[in-house]
Amino acid sequence: MSDCVTLPWPPQELSPNWRGHWRKKARAARTYRHACGWACKAAGLRVPAGELIALHVEFVPPGGRHCDDDDLVGAFRVGRDGIAVALGVVGSRVRLQTSVVCTELGGFVRVRLAGI
């Protein structure tokens, strides 16, 4: 059991700046939500003790490129919902804390849970 899990990078269709067909965005959202939820279950994440849950999210962009953190949070919204469903908690209990790491190559999202 671990309190940390590595999730896939959100697809471009989930970016708040993406202007495509709603059906393609809905399909990408459903797929990403399920992928994040199953990754959390496979890693054995458990709900930490405490009334609120701190969700520390570290974005590692592909190719080390610089990204707008506000857009990254918007793109990861669906992944956050998938994590909440996998843990069996209400989304209002989760407090998001983010950082962007451009010094390492990747294309993934590292998530760590802690109780508040």
User: How many Cβ atoms sit within 10 Å of the Cβ of residue 84?
Assistant: 21
Reported as a single tens digit per residue, the pLDDT across 41-50 is 999 988 887 7
What pLDDT, on a 0 to 100 scale, did the predictor assign at position 111? 94
35 residue type, one letter: A
pTM over 0.85, yes/no: yes
Reported as a single tens digit per residue, the pLDDT across 57-80 is 999 988 877 778 889 999 999 999
User: How far is it, in rounded angstroms, from Cα 78 to Cα 30?
Assistant: 8
- How do the domains of the chain map onto residue ranges? 4-115
Class of the domain covering 4-115: alpha beta
